[in-house]
Structure formats: C-alpha cells, structure tokens
Amino acid sequence: MRLLFEKGKQRELLMKEKNFRSLTWNSFSESLEVKFPRLKSFFYEETLMDEKTFNKLKLKKDYEKFIIKRLDENWGQSKGGNNSLGSLMDINVPEKSEELAEFWGIMLGDGNVQKVQSYKVGVYKITIFGNSDSDRDYLINFVKPLGEKLFKVKAGILKQKSFKELSIIFYRKKIVDFFEQNEFPSGNKIINEVRIPNWIKNNDLYLAACLRGLYDTDGCFYKLTNQNSYQIHFCNNNFKLLTDVRNGLLTLGINVSKIIRNKSIVITKKSEIEKFYKTIGFHNSKHLDKIKMTFSPVR
C-alpha cells in the first residue's frame, strides 16, 4: 500500500526520524533498506511512501493521524502518473504581482519546467539552477523563500558537488500546470522559444521585476579591462526572449546595444547603467555587491 499524508508531513516525518536516530542520509537509507534516490524522492514528496517503509519508522505512531488515505500499489498505472503526490497536493495559485513577475524572470533565466509521465509514477517539478558558490546566497535566501511564498509549497535543495551546481526544486503537478497554462511549456526553453508573457510586458512594474529576475540569472556587471568604465551584459540563446529583454529595456527608457551575435546585449553608457540600477537593479548579491560599490549614491 501507498500512504498519502497531509501536505508536508511525509517530509517532516523522515527528517524527524533521521534526526531521532542520529544518522546520515546514507546510513538512514541503509537502515530502512531503501535505496538513497528512492528515500530522497520520499523526502521531497515526489512519490508516496510505501507502508513497508513506514512500518520501519520508530515515530510512525505519531504520524498515523496524518495519513489521509491508503492507496493500492498499482494506484498510478491507469492514469499515466497523474495520481503521483505531485498531482494530489494543492498549491496556492498566485495572483499577478511584481513578486510573481520576478520569479517568472528567474525561471526564464535559470529555471526549468519538467513533466515526465510514465505508466506508474509521474514527475512534475520546476527547478532553478545556479552555481553552488557564487549563487548560493541568492538561491537559498531569496529564490527559495520567494517561490515558497508564491505557491505555499516547501522547496527542496539539491547540491551537485562535482558540477558546483545548486538547485532549488518545487515538486507539484499543479505548479507545472500553472506555468504551462501561462505560456511557459515544460521542456527545453530554447526549442519552445519561451518569452516574456504579455501580462508582464503590459505593466512597467511587472516588466522591471521580470527583467531583474532575468539579469540576476543570465546577466552580469563588470569593469572593462584597462578602462574606467563598466558594462552590464546579458546573454541568452533564445533569440526571441533576448529580443523581449531588449525591447523591455527600451520600454523602460534604458538605452541598450543592438543584439550582438544573436545572443547578447550590453549597457555601457554610465547614465544608462545608473538608470538600470535605479529602475531594475539586482537581488543577486554577486551582481549587487559590485554595482553598489560604483553606483551606490544613485539609490
């Protein structure tokens, strides 16, 4: 049997059990006779815990009351994974706002919407990727709480040491549905030519917030070599999105270069950089700290 817990309780139970036993995650998975990737999918509430694993937990009696229902082992087969935990759990559907627009920009830059449907278990998630060193503060202290506030869903954190990659992951089919219903299809963003949606383009406050999310992820600020001048650079291989970004800057009154080699644009003039900093700015400290040192009197 598979156990459907109240939202967040499956994750909470596993964390408390691990701490109660004072084990590492690898040791914990061995003690439960569950492979680590499977235990991780339980913890992130990607799949429902089976009753056999639940019965091995010392804290199971404390969490019996949080079980909503028990489902047959083949519960997901007939609907191609639509009965996965990601399908059954509710989310907050956010209203259009500056915060949502900024999160949208973050997703357009370093995000991915994934929908994998199989005969037994479906995987539905959105992921924001970054460098585990330079983007750590931004991802953990800004992106994660922003997404959790918008969707009322706890995010997972995954670190890949070999690639110096840190990922923030939200598992829910309804989050995937929300993005797909708003012109952000799952899969490859470049192939799908995902763009800034009209609800953002038609509102200057939303547009500035979205561009901030895009520049925090795919932009950079730096001093030109051997010169007393600076540049804000933006690079993206989706030409239509790049065009939207350039047009968005012009809409906000910020002069920017023409598109360079079909993949980048730059802001070089000091007055335009100051205007960008004042109108759009950064939340990613790796950019913000640099620009503050040069243009802090503007704000």
Q: What is the pLDDT of residues 143-170, one digit of tens each?
A: 999 999 999 999 988 887 767 889 999 9
268 pLDDT more than 50? yes
List beta partners, residue 49: 3
198-298 in CATH: which number? 3.10.28.10
83 pLDDT more than 70? no
What mean pLDDT do residues 81-102 have?
Answer: 77
Residues 126, 129, 135, 138, Cα dihedral to 10°: -10
The two structure tokens encoding residue 273:
């950089």
List beta partners, residue 5: 67
Q: Give the least confident one: 19-28, 223-232, 244-253, 265-274.
A: 223-232
What mean pLDDT do residues 286-298 have?
Answer: 79
- Find out whether 208 and 161 touch, Cβ atoms under 8 Å: no
- Find out whether 286 and 135 touch, Cβ atoms under 8 Å: yes
More confident residue, 75 or 116: 116
Portions of the chain given CATH number 1.10.260:
2-71
Topology of 2-71 in CATH? 434 Repressor (Amino-terminal Domain) (1.10.260)
pLDDT digits over 193-244, tens only? 999 999 999 999 999 999 999 999 999 999 888 788 899 999 999 999 999 9
Portions of the chain given CATH number 3.10.28.10:
98-191, 198-298
Q: How confident is the model at residue 90 (pLDDT cuts 50, 70, 90)?
A: confident
98-191 in CATH: which number? 3.10.28.10
